[in-house]
Chains A and B, each alone.
Chain A
Amino acid sequence: MTKDKELELIRILEHHGRIETDVLAKMLDENEEDVKTGMKKLEDEKVILSYGAIIDWNKVTTEDHIAAMIDVKVTPQREVGFDEVAARIQRFPEVTALYLMSGTYDLSVMVEGQTMEGVARFVSNKLSTLDAVLSTTTHFRLKKYKHDGVIFDQEEKDRRMVVSP
């Protein structure tokens, strides 16, 4: 598979991870076996890391689903900078995303849990107690409008006529 085809494959999978390989093969104008091999290669090379779904949890469960973004200031460590403390934080299962930021704080930690108390406990008992962590500021998410490029609660309606020139 050429580099261009590989890029096309990645672009399609980024938004349609569940698409079947025979359909993918047609979309790419490639042999199905080559597509399977290409996907395996991208998985082995950790280009494709995971095939996920974007879920609107509010529609399927009444259980609370709490998310918070926590701004964290840390003391960078000699030689490893922020990486060592980031490596510790990212392993907590409550942490769903972690970014190094420029600006007034250093790390942005996305945490998800079932209750506000659970998130608060994580911040006070686990995150704040790390030696390198100087301070935290927690923002609870109130509503999800858009995530990973997908707009929630947007009814897609095709307003075009059935047949047009």
Chain B
Amino acid sequence: MKQQTMQTTPKKKRLSRAASSIEPSGIRRFFDLAATMKDCISLGVGEPDFVTPWNVREASMASLEQGYTSYTSNAGMIELRTAIGEYMLDRFGVDYDPEEEMIVTVGASEAIDLAIRATIDPGDEVLVATPAFVSYEPLVTMSGAVPIPVPTDASTDFKLTKERLEAAITDRSRAVILSFPNNPTGAVMNDVELQAIAEVAEAYDLLVFSDEIYAELSYDTQHTAFSALERMRDRTVLISGFSKAFAMTGWRLGFVCAPTDITQAMLKIHQYSLMCAPTPAQHGALEALRNGREIVEKMTNSYRARRNYIVHALNEAGLSCRFPGGSFYAFPSVEATGMDDETFAEQLLIEEKVAVVPGTVFGKGGEGHVRCSYATSMDALQTATARIEAFVQRHAQ
């Protein structure tokens, strides 16, 4: 029988200032809308369309069969950290000590949160190159600090410039968050372009949180790790993970590499909040690093061909789209339709059942653009781009 209780209205506030100060993700709102549409073709998905490679899944299952169900060290299995160290050195030329300078985290998202909480005080300003992954600014806000967007745009190929970064710096600036290859623009920055940012970081004594989760998905140039730049190792927190390169989004496994004082501060927060990353996922990740490189290459080749296709198809459809150098997103302008990006995305969904994500969801720099993920089948891409072309023809100004 349902218990009858006297309801009282709480008099003290129930929600923290931190939670109240942030808005729900714009992606969430668009997801709710898209989820109501039947037979929708989605270019709105920010994750690989591949299932995690079988050998990785198998290794994780085998670890469960063998009874690896306990906590691991707070920083993660030392075998995994050692493998990450070898991988980072071999692949990107950056050398970190697995014992002291590395933490395995619950996704790269946790690593970003830890990095901010371990180094930033309330009132500090954190510069965020936008458009950017939706979590950066809210995480800064929740730490009591102030996010300062530094917009990039099509005029600089969505790359951050030294001038724009410098213009946003104040006495309270403590750090800058970079993510190249970028979600949502697909922009990459080469070593020369990053070096210009490094000089600003040094001149103004900024920490650099470099989210390099899409590093493996650099199609035309070799990825440059920010900490590999001259004199940048000591001021860089390098964040990465297994989600994008190894198609392991649901495993929630990331890692961070940074100087010892920073990792040890991060580790204190990590050990109280999450204890350690899931053990079966760590065993899967170890297999991914040991025997997954060939599969990563195959997936990357497949993304490259699809990138080429969608960029040509979007331009032919009438949406101006530059060639993104990395990640798996195209970021066309919707200017030709005269619509703002939110209206475009909403109308496209309603009229043509194609889901794309409005650029403003990713910050001010995303205005007038939409994110189209090409991590989907070629059949879906062909149908989606044909529908986009029909839509643009109907609405072209």
Contact flag A163-B308 (CB < 8 Å), given A11-B301, A158-B49:
no
Q: Are A162 and B378 in contact (CB under 8 A)?
A: no
The stretch among A20-28, A46-54, A121-129, A133-141 that forms the contact with chain B is A20-28
Contacting B at CB under 8 A, from A7-26, are 8, 11-12, 16, 19, 23, 25-26
* Minimum C-beta distance from A24 to chain B (A): 9
The stretch among B37-45, B168-176, B276-284 that forms the contact with chain A is B37-45
Q: Are B46 and A26 in contact (CB under 8 A)?
A: no
Q: Which residues of B contact A27 (CB under 8 A)?
A: 305-306, 308-309, 378
Q: Which of B42, B133, B306 contacts A162 (CB 8 A)?
A: B42
Q: Which residues of A contact B306 (CB under 8 A)?
A: 27
Contacting A at CB under 8 A, from B27-43, are 27, 30-31, 34-35, 37, 40, 42
Q: Are B46 and A165 in contact (CB under 8 A)?
A: yes
Q: Are B27 and A163 in contact (CB under 8 A)?
A: yes
Q: List 25 A-B contacts (CB under 8 A).
A: A8-B301, A8-B305, A25-B312, A26-B309, A26-B312, A27-B305, A28-B305, A28-B308, A29-B308, A158-B49, A160-B47, A161-B35, A162-B31, A162-B35, A162-B37, A162-B40, A162-B42, A163-B35, A163-B44, A163-B45, A163-B355, A163-B357, A165-B25, A165-B46, A165-B134
Could you tell me the distance between the alpha carbons of A19 and B45 in the complex, rounded to whole angstroms?
Answer: 24
Q: How many residues of B contact A (CB 8 A)?
A: 31
Could you tell me the distance between the alpha carbons of A160 and B42 in the complex, rounded to whole angstroms?
Answer: 10
**B-side interface residues toward A, CB under 8 Å?**
25, 27, 30-31, 34-35, 37, 40, 42, 44-47, 49, 133-135, 183, 301, 304-306, 308-309, 312-313, 355, 357, 376, 378, 382
Q: Which residues of B contact A8 (CB under 8 A)?
A: 301, 304-305
Q: Are B27 and A165 in contact (CB under 8 A)?
A: yes
Contact flag A162-B301 (CB < 8 Å), given A26-B309, A29-B312:
no
Could you tell me the distance between the alpha carbons of A164 and B49 in the complex, rounded to whole angstroms?
Answer: 12
* Minimum C-beta distance from B382 to chain A (A): 7
Q: Which of B46, B183, B378 contacts A16 (CB 8 A)?
A: B378
* Minimum C-beta distance from A67 to chain B (A): 25
Q: Which residues of A contact B30 (CB under 8 A)?
A: 163
Which 9 A-B residue pairings sit nearest by Cβ, starting from the closest? A163-B44, A26-B312, A163-B31, A27-B305, A29-B308, A162-B34, A26-B309, A27-B309, A162-B42
Q: Which residues of A contact B382 (CB under 8 A)?
A: 23
Q: Are B378 and A163 in contact (CB under 8 A)?
A: no
With A160-B49, A162-B44, A163-B45 given, name 19 new contacts (CB 8 A): A8-B301, A12-B305, A19-B378, A26-B309, A26-B313, A27-B308, A28-B305, A160-B42, A160-B47, A161-B31, A161-B35, A162-B34, A162-B45, A162-B355, A163-B30, A164-B27, A164-B46, A164-B47, A165-B25
Measured as residues with beta carbon below 8 angstroms from the partner, the interface class of chain A is 10 to 19
Q: Which residue of A lies closest to B356 (CB)?
A: A163
Q: Which residue of A lies closest to B371 (CB)?
A: A163
Q: Which residues of B contact A158 (CB under 8 A)?
A: 49, 376
* Minimum C-beta distance from A149 to chain B (A): 11
Could you tell me the distance between the alpha carbons of A164 and B382 in the complex, rounded to whole angstroms?
Answer: 21
Q: Which residues of B contact A161 (CB under 8 A)?
A: 31, 35, 45
* Minimum C-beta distance from B176 to chain A (A): 21
Could you tell me the distance between the alpha carbons of A88 and B78 in the complex, rounded to whole angstroms?
Answer: 58
Could you tell me the distance between the alpha carbons of A8 and B382 in the complex, rounded to whole angstroms?
Answer: 19
Q: Which residues of B contact A160 (CB under 8 A)?
A: 42, 45, 47, 49
Contact flag A164-B378 (CB < 8 Å), given A26-B313, A27-B309, A29-B312:
no
Contacting B at CB under 8 A, from A89-131, are none
Q: Which residues of A contact B37 (CB under 8 A)?
A: 162
Q: Which residues of A contact B134 (CB under 8 A)?
A: 165
Could you tell me the distance between the alpha carbons of A23 and B383 in the complex, rounded to whole angstroms?
Answer: 12
Q: Are B305 and A164 in contact (CB under 8 A)?
A: no
Could you tell me the distance between the alpha carbons of A12 and B306 in the complex, rounded to whole angstroms?
Answer: 11
Q: Which residues of B contact A162 (CB under 8 A)?
A: 31, 34-35, 37, 40, 42, 44-45, 355
Q: Are A164 and B45 in contact (CB under 8 A)?
A: yes
Contact flag A23-B42 (CB < 8 Å), given A162-B31, A164-B27, A165-B133:
no
Q: Are B313 and A164 in contact (CB under 8 A)?
A: no
* Minimum C-beta distance from B52 to chain A (A): 12
Q: Which residue of B lies closest to A12 (CB)?
A: B305
